[in-house]
A and B are shown apart, each in its own frame.
Chain A
Amino acid sequence: MNFYGLIDGSEQSLKNFLKQLSGVDQVGADERAAMLATRSIKTTSKRWAIDTAISMVDLTTLEGADTAGKVQALCTKAVRPDPTDSSVPSVGAVCVYNDMVGIARKHLDLVGGHHVAVAAVSTAFPSGRASMKVKIQDTEDAILAGAAEIDMVIDRGAFLSGKFIEVFEEIVKIREVCGDRAHLKVILETGELVTYDNVRKASYLAMLAGADFIKTSTGKIAPAATPPVVLVMLEAVRDFYAMTNVRIGVKPAGGIRNTKDAIKQLVLVNEIAGPEWLKPSLFRIGASTLLNDLLMQRMKMDNGYYASPQYVTID
């Protein structure tokens, strides 16, 4: 691998690369995100944003209590979020645990959702605390069961203790396992990295190691996909594109529960990374409850009156 020609894969070259990255001023980044949060998205642009957001949702269930029935219901909804309105697009993917991948794939195909991908969380999600052997097997398993997208977690312990090369080599390894068979999303778990400087470093580390997407969070740790964290990651993919001509995707996950939050994310994408990123192949939103709020807002816009949760499905 040539790592985009930016590093040679050695510990020293990785360290040097991460060291020369510009710092992030937390207050300034917060301010910029807060300013963009004041964007007022109305009428036609809101309608467009809602459909775009729906198509970007990675509809997610990651519970110990998940069952085949739960996952199948989720898949049905993913393909046709509003059973009464066929103009609503399908979501981007369904996101499940390893053992649910086969069930999800099978059910999606059954209900006409060949176009909806299954994403599997991997590498001993959410903690990442397992041997490399297990992590590789975890990934291999999911791909064989039909996962087209792998959402791996990084070893935050290694990152926080400065062992960047260990984190890097794990991602490289999983990238190799995925090969052309699956897209790789790398979960940084920004809530545990804490500082924006770390978020920026981890973003570059993951991109250099071969990530197709960088993802904020597991959803198990708060804070998760806060606007300034997403802003820092969007800056990273924008600048990485300027260096390599390759566009890496971004996936905020966790804490995006309503339409307003989702639209704020789209505004961030539009004004930080640029409109080129405003498509499901480069931006996803990991969520479960968000979808229903998007559907209700969509109803309100079409009908002109406020919607009720009675009219959207609870799956």
Chain B
Amino acid sequence: MSSRIDVKKTYKLFINGAFLRTESGRTYQVKSAQGAFAANPCLASRKDLRDAVIAARAAHSGWSSATAYNRGQILYRIAEMLEGRRGQFLDEITLLTGVTASVAQKEVISAIDRLVWYAGWSDKISSLTGATNPVAGPFYNFTIPESLGVVAAIAPETPALLGFIDAIAPIITSGNVVVILASTKNPLPAMTFAEVLATSDLPAGVVNILTGKKDEIAPWMASHMDIDGLDISGLSPKSHAQIRVSGAENLKRIYSFKGADPARIVAFMEAKTVWHPIGL
């Protein structure tokens, strides 16, 4: 056996395309399924959330006005990058959850395939949910779905990678930008996924990833006036009511989902209807 000492990774937040430590200087300990020390990820603060929202908002105009074809290609590029790093995710999932390699393998493969699936949605969703409306008058009238803006999300605890992909991919494929809080117990795949994002042509700020405690971050997400939508799939149903109450302050669109579903894309889009006269 080699006596080489491993080079351990410092897990940081991913904000505006950069790997940053939390401004609070706090970390928390993550343990392996066997109870051994695994890592000290950042314990993000509300100020980290604030910074992430600013980065996300700044990225929205560019990302939402990129062509759907371009967004689809970038999502596909993310899948390509993930494919190349399968081993790393396999290790992190098995380490933290204790599942067998084949179970972990299945999750990683599903995550890649899911990204490919959502990549293809980028330039289809408008055709399916838009409409040309036959109004009673000399007007051309059409409805198109548009991205909502800044969407925050709470990733489910498990499956840590697949649940994370299921949260962010439908949000960004339509042109939204996202600030997501990763699984608390198993944040490592999400943070490693940030490295995938960083090498996949995704513009800075489109996906911003925090690690930390749901109880601490979710209420700030709910009350933040510059967040337009909130995916609370990763929150315990017990806390949904309170989140919805504080989200009402700016009438946030708040939803919770299970699994892969095109409704996840539609939920964070707004229908815009345009009228124009038809005349000489």
> CB within 8 Å of B: which residues of A?
25-28, 30, 194-197
Complex interface: stretch among B2-10, B174-182, B195-203, B272-280: B272-280
Known contacts: A27-B138, A27-B139. The answer to whether A194 contacts B280 by CB under 8 A is yes
The 9 A-B residue pairs with the shortest CB-CB distance in the complex, in nearest-first order: A26-B279, A27-B277, A27-B279, A195-B280, A27-B138, A26-B280, A25-B277, A25-B279, A194-B280
CB–CB B280/A196 < 8 A: yes
In the assembled complex, 17 residue pairs joining A and B whose CB atoms fall closer than 8 Å, in A order, are A25-B277, A25-B279, A26-B277, A26-B279, A26-B280, A27-B138, A27-B139, A27-B277, A27-B278, A27-B279, A28-B277, A30-B138, A30-B279, A194-B280, A195-B280, A196-B280, A197-B280
Min CB distance A30 to B, Å, is: 8
A195 to B139, CA, bound (A): 18
How many angstroms from the CA of A27 to the CA of B137 in the assembled complex?
9
Least distance between B276 CB and chain A CB atoms (Å): 9
**What residues on A are CB-neighbors of B279 within 8 Å?**
25-27, 30
On B, residues with C-beta under 8 Å from A are 138-139, 277-280
B280 to chain A, nearest CB (A): 5
A88 to chain B, nearest CB (A): 41
What's the nearest-Cβ distance from chain A to residue B32, in Å? 69
**How far is it, in angstroms, between the C-alpha of A197 and the C-alpha of B280 when the chains are bound?**
9
- CB contacts (< 8 Å) of A195 on chain B: these are 280
Residues of A within 8 A of B138 (CB): 27, 30
Known: A25-B279, A196-B280. 15 other contacts (CB 8 A): A25-B277, A26-B277, A26-B279, A26-B280, A27-B138, A27-B139, A27-B277, A27-B278, A27-B279, A28-B277, A30-B138, A30-B279, A194-B280, A195-B280, A197-B280
Q: Which residues of B contact A26 (CB under 8 A)?
A: 277, 279-280
| CB of B133, distance to nearest CB on chain A (Å) | 17
Give the interface centre of B139, B277, B280 by most chain A CB atoms within 10 Å. B280
In the assembled complex, which residues on chain B have CB atoms less than 8 Å from the CB atom of A194?
280
A29, closest chain B residue (CB): B279
A201 to chain B, nearest CB (A): 13
